[in-house]
Amino acid sequence: MITNKVKKIAKEAVLRSGKMLLKEFECFDRNTVKLKSHHEILTACDLKSEKIIISAIKKNFSDHQILSEEAGEYKTESDYLWIIDPIDGTTNFSMHNPLFSISLGLAYKGKIIFGIIYAPYMNEMFIAEKGKGAKLNNKKMKVSNIKSGKVLNAFCHGTSKKDIKQALEYFKKQKLEGFDCRQMGSAAIELAYVACGRIESIAIPGAHSWDVAAGILLVREAGGKVTDFIGEKWTLKNKDMLATNGKVHEKIIDVFKRI
């Protein structure tokens, strides 16, 4: 289902976007940001990045559907759906924190089959193809083997008060009862870090598909596990998302049961 053309165009698009973002990052002025909501900001760079990626997809795969964080939906009759977050970690980007990324996933009949997460500042490209594993800069990667003691957890959340409250309760329990829990500000990077074994988990109440589509495939193809908070398999229709190395999964589900 994944052709060499799909992979080539996707890589080229995120690399072009990343090059533009790095240039803008060096001189970005946070006074120029706009508020999308009480908890979300939008920059001109989000729109520039989105335009680069969407233009490449429409030029080469004009019949494919597109779902992007800023532009919304472009619907056709195709079974293929591109899912785009042009800057995941916009707030980080705006304050010159290098933990931002571009996330690009491709689903076929509702199942994610290809994904790229590119962190331009670190020059790290994470790629996964369904059934063929996951790689970081062309080297095969896998989740960690840590199951107790030194477990590093991350969290993120949606914009609703319910999502935020649940995330804060989760953070509180993990900080008091676990080794550590961090919010890095980019769900895509946090998922990529689970996939390559840098951390053991990422939990997101109220996840948006554009934030996590590519990363979920990365984790699965690297040998990890992705479900909702009660242990059911995660799909594009789900909101709550838990991705782990598999070895800490049940322990974290138990934490959510106690929240």
Dihedral of CA 22/116/192/238: which sign? positive
The mean pLDDT value of the chain amounts to: 92
pLDDT at 165: 95
Query: How far from each other are the two terminal CA atoms of the chain, in whole angstroms?
Result: 41
Say yes or no: 161 and 136 in one domain: no
Q: Can you tell me the distance from the alpha carbon of 68 to that of 70, in angstroms, rounded to the nearest whole number?
A: 6
Q: What is the CATH number of the domain that holds 227?
A: 3.40.190.80
Q: What is the CATH number of the domain that holds 64?
A: 3.30.540.10
Segment 108-136 shows an average pLDDT of 97
Segment 52-61 shows an average pLDDT of 96
Indicate the number of domains in the chain: 2
User: Would you say residue 146 lies in a domain?
Assistant: no
Say yes or no: 34 and 128 in one domain: yes
User: Would you say residue 145 lies in a domain?
Assistant: no
pLDDT at 35: 73
Report how far apart, in Å, the C-alpha atoms of 166 and of each of 54, 68, 130, 185, 249 are.
34, 26, 31, 17, 18
Say yes or no: 65 and 163 in one domain: no
Given a cut of 80, whether residue 40 has pLDDT beyond it is no
Say yes or no: 119 and 167 in one domain: no
Segment 94-122 shows an average pLDDT of 96
What is the domain extent for residue 240?
Answer: 152-257
Closest CA to 170 of 182, 161, 159, 160: 182
Segment 202-222 shows an average pLDDT of 95
Say yes or no: 161 and 189 in one domain: yes
Say yes or no: 24 and 79 in one domain: yes
Q: Looking at 111, 140, 169, which one is the last position of a domain? A: 140
Say yes or no: 34 and 110 in one domain: yes
pLDDT at 68: 87
Q: Can you tell me the distance from the alpha carbon of 125 to that of 76, in angstroms, rounded to the nearest whole number?
A: 29
Given a cut of 70, whether residue 36 has pLDDT beyond it is no
Given a cut of 70, whether residue 235 has pLDDT beyond it is yes
Segment 43-72 shows an average pLDDT of 90
Between 159 and 117, the more confident residue is 117
Model-level pTM? 0.93
pLDDT at 27: 81
